[in-house]
Amino acid sequence: MIAWKRKDPFPDPDEVRMTLGEHLEELRTRVIRALVAIVAGAILCYVFIGYVMGLLVWPMFSALDKNDLPRQMVQTAPQEVFMMDLKVAFIAGFILTAPYALAQIWGFIAAGLYAHERKWVRRFVPVSIALFFIGALFMLFVVAPVMLNFFINYGDDGYPDISKNLPAWLRPSNGMEQVSPATQPSWAAIPPIHPYAKDPENPPEGIPWLNVDAHEIRIRYGDKTYTLAALREAREGNRVVPMIRIHDYVLLVLGMMAAFGIGFQVPVVVALLSTIGIFSAKDMAGVRRHVLFFIAIASAVITPSADVFSMLALMVPMALLFEVGLLAARFIERERAQAAK
């Protein structure tokens, strides 16, 4: 009986030598495939850009809800949202097709590698891609809501109103001091505003209601519903009201997602250094303090927001992933030692 063996698409580099022209042709073909995939991914993401943007702005709207702020961000130029959608579609398309693009790069490089070298690359590349997506999603769903809620809530108390402690002749006047209780309408004359969890069906025209879910007072005229006021908790002092520019926010989130995706490559780097023999797991464990110091510096550098909270949110997972990388390196070393026997 003759055993059938699948033909190796990557023959031994010592047996087959490609000319420079063949290398360039192979590179051109694979680059074109990768670019076509990126363009197709960008078009697909632009078709569903509403869902993509909904995913990106969810942490901000969640933080705004927790601080009783209206669910809105601002644009400062007429073309800002359109250009931002194009950028996001391209970046999202690039990320979506990154595994295919890496496969094309791998296919070009693998032709010059030996079989035992290709074996380890086959193991590292899928893990690296998975860790990148895990890091990006960890930032979006875990770190971003906590970070945004902290920063928005930090400025919510504003600053104390020192005008109350100033002499009367220094206090600013807006004319409201002349309004006396006698000139104000009685509570009985003020129509009540009824609360609803959502907008009521077919509300009467001209009568406002309170949308509890949106924290807004709304009113209907004709076939349209209008917002009269957004509700916030009444507090003393001068308030700092956030006006988040959507372009700045989206670029910040995408940058943070990329930073966390890169930071989560630590175990792959550690295992790779052990596999190619640059450092052993024992050597890297011996310089753990220096590695943790380097991780702290790297976290401060690659996080675009440049704040302590973001740095710590990335540094702690990277430190834990370094220990995971050491475990993987020890496993690989034991496997190689057993194979050498």
Q: Classify 240 as helix, strand or coil.
A: coil
Task: Tell me if 67 is assigned to some domain.
Answer: no
The residues, any chain, with a CB within 8 Å of residue 97's CB and separated by 6 or more, are 34, 37, 38, 40, 41
Residue range of the domain that includes 279: 265-341
Contact 129, 98 (CB under 8 A): yes
Q: Is residue 75 part of a domain?
A: no
Cα(74)–Cα(63) distance, integer angstroms: 16
- Residue 55 is predicted with a pLDDT of 92
Residue 162 lies in a domain: no
Per-residue confidence (pLDDT) for residue 3, from 0 to 100:
44
* Domain presence at residue 25: no
In a domain, 206, yes or no: no
pLDDT digits (tens, 9 = 90+) for 225-248: 888 877 776 666 566 778 889 988
**Residue 142 · residue 255 · CB < 8 Å:** no
Q: Please give the pLDDT value at position 159.
A: 67
279 found inside a domain: yes
Count Cα atoms within 13 angstroms, Cβ side, for 311: 13
Domain-located, residue 303 = yes
Count structural domains, the chain: 1
Looking at the domain assignment, is residue 295 inside a domain?
Answer: yes
Those residues of the chain that have pLDDT short of 70 are 1-20, 23, 109-118, 121, 155-189, 233-239, 305-306, 341
Three-state secondary-structure class, residue 211: strand
pTM value is 0.73
